[in-house]
Amino acid sequence: MTKRSFFTLTLLVALVASLLQPARSEAAVTLKTSKTQAHMVKLVILTDRLDFPWSLAFLPDGRMLVTERPGRLRIVHPDGSMQREPVKGLPPIVEIGQGGLMDVALHPRFAQNQLVYLSYAARGEGGVGTEVLRGRLNEDRLENVQVIFRMQPKSRSGVHFGSRLAFDREGHLFVTLGDRGAKDRAQTLDDDAGSIIRINDDGSIPSDNPFAKRDGVRPEIYAYGNRNVQGAALHPGTGELWIHEHGPQGGDELNIVRAGANYGWPVISYGVNYGVGTRIGEGTQKTGMEQPVHVWVPSIAPSGMAFYTGDKFSKWKDNLLVGALRGRALVRLVLEGDRVVSEERMLSNDLGRIRDVRVSPDGSIYLLIDSDHGLLVRVEPTE
């Protein structure tokens, strides 16, 4: 072998080896410390290489699955380094307006079955709508992928897809859906738009769903009258599903989901019509329609939500943490039973549009920042 051939071969081997290694982001960087009412916190940027990240889930080995709205599912290591290639095996995903690849959730028995659930926008008859799949994670690939829910009917709008996923304690899967920009659909029970869906982990319909035995009603609907729900979390004490949703111009709501309940949109709302400020529907209350636990006027554009159940932030125990897109803050709500007794807006304008909020198994708080140079940030106490 000539020296030139040997040098060429050496370069080729090095190139192949580099391609097989996970892509490394810059080392984690502490952005700043910030004072809150109860804790001094440190903001650690793990990576700034995400493309409009939407959601994350913690794998048992400490790695994270992170969704990017353009349609990629990323594996991120605890130090912020990312696998070079996204997870393979996803179906075609449509990025349109607010839609794309959205939430990710692990099956409650993930350690045994390796099942991952994703919500995303997909094409079908009539346009685009939210769908949910499940697949088995095998290293960097989803296998045995099945679509277990398809929103019906689809439409051509690019707004209000929802779409959070949450398992309850019995293993049912809740899927939150927006009204797709056509507000009257939220009051129509033969239409999935503007509703909370409840299905079994394989996509079948639970027999005790409130409308399962009614003719002319989509049996997967569990509650309805919602505008655009982008936050969902189970209460650590009661096991009830709490959600928040975007209002119009003002009127973002925090609600507790109850079987068969009507949350009022667009008949009642605490928001007003964009630009003109006129009343929507019949006012803020109507018999037979639920009242929110909490309302934000003006709007904070909430997205992502988690109850704090860890030990690192001892003074935040069982508080509700909400991300704010428009408000660019992390909102902390102190609860007494079903009542919000105080609110603190933290990290205002420190990071950007907070798309998701998650509490890790070790009690740290992770935030996703909605941007084409999207951040994954870990919030730690400094005490």
Active site (catalytic) residues: 160
Residue type, 362: D
SS3 238: coil
Residue type, 141: R
Cα 330 from Cα 347, distance rounded (Å): 6
Cα 354 from Cα 244, distance rounded (Å): 14
Q: Residue 136, class by beta-carbon neighbours within 10 Å (0-12 exposed, 13-18 middle, 19+ buried)?
A: middle
SS3 214: coil
* Residue 307 Cα distances to 120, 228, 232, 365, angstroms: 24, 20, 10, 11
SS3 13: helix
Structure tokens at 321: 């943490």
Non-local CB neighbours of 114 within 8 Å, separated by 6+ positions: 136, 137, 138
Cα 174 from Cα 177, distance rounded (Å): 10
Rg (CA), the chain: 22
Which one-letter DSSP state was computed for residue 319? -
Q: Residue 169, class by beta-carbon neighbours within 10 Å (0-12 exposed, 13-18 middle, 19+ buried)?
A: exposed
Q: Are 327 and 301 in contact (CB under 8 A)?
A: yes
Q: What DSSP element (H or E) covers 12? A: helix 3-20
Number of Cβ atoms within 10 Å of the Cβ of 106: 20
Non-local CB neighbours of 70 within 8 Å, separated by 6+ positions: 51, 52, 95, 100, 101
Which one-letter DSSP state was computed for residue 315? G
Q: What is the chain's length?
A: 383
Cα 236 from Cα 212, distance rounded (Å): 28
